[in-house]
Amino acid sequence: MSEPTETIEGWYAYHEFRTIDWTLWKNSSAEERNAVLEDYLDYENRQLAIGESHEGSFSLYQMAGDKADLLLLYFRPTLNDLIVAKNDFNKIKLADYTVPSYSYTSVVELSSYLSKPGNNPMEDPALQPRLMPNLRNMASHVCFYPMNKRREGHDNWYMLNKPERVQLMRSHGQIGRDYSDRITQIITGSVGLDDWEWGVTLFSEDPLHFKKLVYEMRFDEVSARYGDFGSFYVGSTINGDALYQVLSIRE
């Protein structure tokens, strides 16, 4: 049997994509819409307080395309914490005007070689920001996609020996490192947690960098031969105050 790769796990991640029920929203009264937005601001402030206490992180994004209107992105220390965050949103008024269109559950994952022997990775100052991401420090645009390593015939990633995988990933990773000054990348593992094996979340001030990075990686053997990709979601960060403008209706 090929030897598995050891990994370091950090906080759990939950991507929840939601679509606005515009008909229901437009048919509501101005008073109701204001109450919904005030309620969301209270919710957002509670989420930001969790971030300030270093017990998790949260950000809201408005999405391009028709796959979703909003992305609620959470990082939490435990899976139960994610479930609480999800249920807390479902209790606020905005949830009544939105419909879940896709969700993804995973956990932050790093290669074990980054950890110093004998050290707790979660207490390593060099690894803490990567294992426990602070979304308030991220760039304004986001791109998310799930992916698998292929398991078909001769193109079976899991039948390669470990040295082969390490060598392939070294060249694959170099492409990402070449974009490190323009893109922040968070890899989350989801084997046994969701339908795909990994989620990739990219952050950049210029969304054009997403296109350039993903295109360049298409020519790398890891992606070209062994990578299968799900749908891509792209958007930009938005806070509760800006949400007023997104959801405002002319009377």
The predicted-structure confidence for 145-162, as pLDDT tens digits, reads as follows 999 999 998 899 999 988
- Provide the pLDDT confidence category of residue 118 given band limits of 50, 70 and 90: low
Instruction: Please name the amino acid found at residue 74.
Output: Y
Specify the long-range contacts of residues 18-22, CB closer than 8 Å, at least 24 apart.
18/68, 18/69, 18/70, 18/71, 18/72, 18/98, 18/99, 18/100, 18/101, 19/68, 19/69, 19/70, 19/98, 19/99, 19/100, 19/101, 20/69, 20/70, 20/97, 20/98, 20/247, 21/97, 21/98, 21/99
Task: Give the per-residue pLDDT at 195.
Answer: 96
Q: Is 145 a catalytic residue?
A: yes
What's the pLDDT band for 248 if we cut at 50, 70, 90?
confident
**What local confidence, expressed as pLDDT, does residue 111 receive?**
80
Longest dimension (CA), the chain: 66
pLDDT-derived band at 2, boundaries 50, 70, 90:
confident
Is pTM beyond 0.95 here?
A: no
pLDDT band at 113 (very low <50, low <70, confident <90, very high): low
- Tell me the per-residue pLDDT of 39-98, one tens digit each, with 9 for 90 and over: 999 999 999 999 999 999 999 999 999 999 999 999 999 999 999 999 999 999 999 999
Q: Which of 145, 179, 226, 233 is catalytic?
A: 145
β-pair partners for 104 = 15
Q: What homologous superfamily is domain 7-247 in, according to CATH?
A: Apc35880; domain 1 (3.30.70.1030)
177-227 confidence digits (pLDDT tens):
899 999 999 999 999 999 999 999 999 999 999 999 999 999 999 899 999
Q: Domain segments of the chain: what residues?
A: 7-247
Please give the helix or strand (H or E) that residue 1 lies within, else none: none
